[in-house]
Structure 1
Amino acid sequence: MSTATAGVKATGKTVTKKRSDRARSENRLGQRLVAPAVVVMLAVTAWPMIQALYLSLFRYRLTSPDDKDFIGLSNYGTVLTDQLFWQDTFNTLLIMVVTVAVELVIGFAFAMVMHRIVFARGAVRTSILIPYGIITVVSAYAWQFAFSLNNGWVNSWFAWLPWLEPDTNWFGSHWPAMFAIMISEIWKTTPFMALLLLAGLAQISEDMIEAAKVDGATWWQRLFKVILPNMKAAIMVAVLFRALDAFRIFDNIYVMTKGAQDTESSSFLTYRQVIEQMQLGLGSALSVLLFISVLLLAFLIVKLFKVDLAQARGEG
């Protein structure tokens, strides 16, 4: 082995060691910074979670507080063998996949506009973010009015479409009602997706894009070869946050359909069991299953993107 080769290897080991030391130091600092928030969150959420897990093991209805029987995992068996649970889970997954996919495309377009625009940049960014600042219940009522049969503007404005009639009842059947719910969700939360993607765009070096232009890369080549690969971490965060939020959808469904036409979500089913029917045992089992589903969903999204956080920090 030559002296030069040995020097290169030694230098590589030194750089790797420095990077490892830096990563460990940043991890320790990050743990210390988030520790107070984690302690507070555990103090606030740990007891309700334990209580829900405990109640899920009992046949317990609030109308008969003295009649509480231990039944083990029977509540989970009842839920998992109920067709309504799987129908609501399908509705929830469908809303999540469709809304997040559409929001990702439109949000990226908005982020590109906000990133590139020079004239009236503040006004443009503010106008794009307005829907996200509106309370969800208010926006849901607005979209319920927009799709209403008698007074809504959707039927009159889009009457030129061949499949739309002036007397179309959007809330009279399953798929039109689901479409209306998803439109309201997309309108409300696309600005949040755009905001997260804008942060990712701001981290891309303009020198890399200019170098691609000099090499003759087209706009599409720059998008798929330079911009999107360097935004992978930001896209993962945006998709993760929005997917978890969409999976817990409740407000829009409650306001627009109240679960009619088979438009219930998992969260709405839990609400009906606990609040309307006062079935604390079954409702707690549903809450635990919803919590497990959210954890599994987060795990799958992180694994799907396979983001190298060290490389995203510029260490790779």
Structure 2
Amino acid sequence: MRPRGGLAAQRVRHAWWMAAPMLVVLAAVGGWPLLRTIWFSVTDSDLSSLGDYAFIGLENYVGEYGLLASPDWWQAVGNTLLFTALSVALETLLGLGVALLLNQPSRLRTLLRAALLVPWAIPTVVSAKMWSWMLHDQFGIVNHHLLALGVIAVPLAWTADPQLSLFSVVLVDVWKATPYMALLILAALQMVPVDCYEAARVDGVPRWQVFRRITLPLIMPGLLVAMIFRTLDALRVFDLIYVMTSNSRDTQSMSVFVREQLIDFGLVGYGSAAATCLFFMIALLSIVAMGLLGKTVERAAR
């Protein structure tokens, strides 16, 4: 009889062989461009002399004109972190509320779920352009209705005013991504055993206590997965911000900063350094988030 340890090792080897083609494809599609980007980040390469560049070490990172000394880079980092924090927090709260409503028995539940997908299904570029027109200070429908209701006295430049532009982008992102969060949370809600609710109903436990002590702990792993996905997606936001506000310093994200350096200025080395920093920031956050998720799942399984 084969020992258990030998059988487990054999299964692991088979799993690696099964995953090998996928890993090779990922290495070719993602690994090689990543290594090239990291290599360009330690050179003085630019578009005008792409084949003639020199190794300069960490000059693009910590040099006199490197990323760490660039106020534009740090503003892009701050904009990205603020955008991520606001959008993920609002999307989580609204998504949880919508998921709780959709989880209630109703004849219209299927229709409501389908309607909920519409904002998320619209391509981001289309959504951004549509909202840019709606938020236009002269002929936008948002200003038109706010003026008619007396909420504002003069038209507001939602995407041009430094005090409003970032929050306008956040609200559009919340409108688009909340359905995604709601569907993920709804999937977690439907995994909660009905027996738990029936026992709480028999004992006369108030609804708030049922949510706090039963629903929330049981859906926490799914909720964390949804938050992690949205956080990683928000950190690399590009199309929404670029379409609505272009290269404005007030809303420029790290991805938009990378695009500006690579395309507008032709600084391949400098732009690659910014892209490398963005990659390692997201990779580090992913590792921390996966560790936190693993501990949460273990705690929930006890």
TM-score scaled by length of structure 1: 0.85
Give the whole-Å Cα distance in 2 for the aligned partners of 1:310 and 1:207: 22
Residues 60-114 of structure 1 deviation map (CA, whole Å, 9 limit, x = unaligned) = 1111235412100111110111111111101000000100000001111111122
Asked if the contact 2:42/2:60 (under 8 Å) is kept, the reply is yes
Give the whole-Å Cα distance in 1 for the aligned partners of 2:13 and 2:184: 26
Measured at CA, do residues 24 and 89 of structure 1 come closer, stay the same or move farther in structure 2, by a change above 3 Å?
farther
Of 44, 53, 64 in structure 2, the residue corresponding to residue 68 of structure 1 is 53
Give the whole-Å Cα distance in 2 for the aligned partners of 1:231 and 1:279: 46
Asked if the contact 1:63/1:278 (under 8 Å) is kept, the reply is yes
Please give the secondary structure, in 2, of the residue aligned with 1:145: helix
1:155 aligned partner: 143
Question: Are 1:112 and 2:65 an aligned pair?
Answer: no
Please give the secondary structure, in 1, of the residue aligned with 2:44: strand
2:43 aligned partner: 58
Give the whole-Å Cα distance in 2 for the aligned partners of 1:29 and 1:158: 63
Residues 110-155 of structure 1 deviation map (CA, whole Å, 9 limit, x = unaligned) = 1112221321222110001111100000000011011101111111
| Stretch of structure 1 that moved more, 165-174 or 120-129 | 165-174
Of 174, 198, 221 in structure 2, the residue corresponding to residue 233 of structure 1 is 221
Give the whole-Å Cα distance in 2 for the aligned partners of 1:272 and 1:132: 27
Give the whole-Å Cα distance in 2 for the aligned partners of 1:206 and 1:26: 36
2:167 aligned partner: 179
Give the whole-Å Cα distance in 2 for the aligned partners of 1:194 and 1:132: 11
Asked if the contact 1:172/1:261 (under 8 Å) is kept, the reply is no
Give the whole-Å Cα distance in 2 for the aligned partners of 1:239 and 1:297: 12
Asked if the contact 2:188/2:219 (under 8 Å) is kept, the reply is yes
Give the whole-Å Cα distance in 1 for the aligned partners of 2:133 and 2:93: 27
2:231 aligned partner: 243
Residues 246-303 of structure 1 deviation map (CA, whole Å, 9 limit, x = unaligned) = 1111111111110225210000000001111111100111111000110122233344
Counterparts of 1:206-225 in structure 2, within 5 Å, are 206-225=194-213
Question: Are 1:197 and 2:182 an aligned pair?
Answer: no
Asked if the contact 2:75/2:249 (under 8 Å) is kept, the reply is no
Asked if the contact 2:76/2:249 (under 8 Å) is kept, the reply is no
Measured at CA, do residues 39 and 308 of structure 1 come closer, stay the same or move farther in structure 2, by a change above 3 Å?
farther
Of 116, 122, 127 in structure 2, the residue corresponding to residue 139 of structure 1 is 127
Measured at CA, do residues 241 and 222 of structure 1 come closer, stay the same or move farther in structure 2, by a change above 3 Å?
same
Asked if the contact 2:135/2:143 (under 8 Å) is kept, the reply is yes
Q: 1:231 Cα shift?
A: 0.7
Q: 1:175 Cα shift?
A: 2.3
Q: 1:29 Cα shift?
A: 8.6
Question: Are 1:41 and 2:26 an aligned pair?
Answer: yes
Asked if the contact 1:92/1:266 (under 8 Å) is kept, the reply is yes
Q: 1:41 Cα shift?
A: 1.8
1:283 aligned partner: 271
For the aligned residue pairs, the C-alpha RMSD in angstroms reads 2.7
- How many residues matched? 295
Give the whole-Å Cα distance in 1 for the aligned partners of 2:54 and 2:21: 39
Asked if the contact 2:225/2:293 (under 8 Å) is kept, the reply is no
| Identity within the alignment, % | 35
Measured at CA, do residues 146 and 298 of structure 1 come closer, stay the same or move farther in structure 2, by a change above 3 Å?
same
Asked if the contact 1:88/1:265 (under 8 Å) is kept, the reply is yes
Give the whole-Å Cα distance in 1 for the aligned partners of 2:12 and 2:90: 35
Give the whole-Å Cα distance in 2 for the aligned partners of 1:27 and 1:109: 42
1:168 aligned partner: 156
TM-score scaled by length of structure 2: 0.89
Asked if the contact 1:156/1:166 (under 8 Å) is kept, the reply is no
Q: 2:99 is matched by which residue type in structure 1?
A: A
Give the whole-Å Cα distance in 2 for the aligned partners of 1:27 and 1:201: 33
Give the whole-Å Cα distance in 2 for the aligned partners of 1:29 and 1:221: 47
Measured at CA, do residues 241 and 38 of structure 1 come closer, stay the same or move farther in structure 2, by a change above 3 Å?
farther
2:69 aligned partner: 81
Please give the secondary structure, in 2, of the residue aligned with 1:151: coil
Q: 1:54 Cα shift?
A: 0.7
Please give the secondary structure, in 2, of the residue aligned with 1:175: coil
Of 266, 273, 287 in structure 1, the residue corresponding to residue 261 of structure 2 is 273
Asked if the contact 1:171/1:261 (under 8 Å) is kept, the reply is no
Residues 32-63 of structure 1 deviation map (CA, whole Å, 9 limit, x = unaligned) = 77554443222210100010011111001111
Of 102, 118, 123 in structure 1, the residue corresponding to residue 111 of structure 2 is 123
Note the residue ranges of structure 2 that are not aligned, 5 or more in a row: none
Give the whole-Å Cα distance in 1 for the aligned partners of 2:248 and 2:135: 15
Give the whole-Å Cα distance in 2 for the aligned partners of 1:140 and 1:264: 15
